[in-house]
Structure 1
């Protein structure tokens, strides 16, 4: 009975915790959101567009992005929403995208690394990285690196990395980062989400006194397309907990909070859930591992980022 009670209390916090609202405007601010055409990314785009921000939707599926753009423009009355092609599973696409942004944009105030892939069958990116680690961590690591000077020039600015409570499912396997010896989709997803938090902690240290702050976010258990790769057992469990899960609108709230809450200018490197600071696992607070992950990420991507 105690386990059932604990589960019910956890699901109640997931569903109803972190009620928050704000009238903060973002007029004159430029926001870049990856995976902005669906789920949490789409609802984040909608909210920030209503606040007057210029939005850059960075998406792989341009057709779906155009439908979302039209819907959000009509809903928000904000016509300053543009779409740019970005495939986070291909470093060539990331570099071309970043070059375009750096050439065309005078400022970037908020970077939301939202896009992700969850528990997919084993596959590799165009550059040979395990797909979940490559898209969820390395793709956003490289994108942030390529846009960091623009973010610094635009300070105060913010970087928001979408992580998950699933970071507790994995460890950083430095000797088998691409899961080539033993692939387990859930552990690989957990590794990528743990990497998101460690990346955020490192960013906060390296960007100290630059005016650029970083935040890691757990959106909650959300009804999104990410579940499409779940196996039968997980899908059965999903049906049981689904009544207690969040909508995409609810799931976007902590991202929006970290993007607009004025007081967060004084904070950086934290992990947030339900629109407030939250506690992550001990592994996610391991600064020595965070530095090793940083060095390995740079090596894998062929970049130097001190």
Structure 2
């Protein structure tokens, strides 16, 4: 089964699922190794990890495509890519879809923020018109070569115009043909219920950001609220930041590995993750110099 069909199957199966974020090939591989069903290529995480800057629209299309291509090379489960605003207008969206489809993604997320965009849980956002975003969605749908490639439409209108406007936009994006709807940064459980009750019949995303604007709920609670996807975009990135910080601090302060070992994976775990045994097998099979 193709990755696009596999992801469409996830959308129609009973129950909600967690979509964890990856920021490089290593974190993507870890997500699959742990047993999750799909990977989210996080725009914020890629900006943080690859550029060293906050999520304020600094990444280019090519930079994200390069990272996502590496993720797809080392994993076998579907990848959902955060394509921000599509990196421009509707014409840019057409190129964005072609590039990510060639990279091997199963779904592309597009949002209605003004470019350059900001993290959905930052203040000071703005959105384009509903009509312009509808045009972007239609351009994406008309450009995709694989009809199973899912288009996820995100609106950031809650913070700018309120939840009613966000729901109105979500309806328009669904009517334009989006496969998945993502209303970003609702701030209360009441808003979560309002969103899902107003948008029945289409898979919906709940983005949970630790310390962000949306209340944190469990997967069971997200499903009960009516969400299909519980997005945890940067949990892995933030755990990596803490783990690296803690181990480096101990190494700096103590000048010894004695208390570092509790913070790091074993040698064997590292080589297993990166498939050293598989490489050795290929060497035995193919290298005869």
Which bracket does the TM-score occupy, shorter chain normalised? 0.3 to 0.5
Structure 1 length as normaliser, TM-score? 0.34
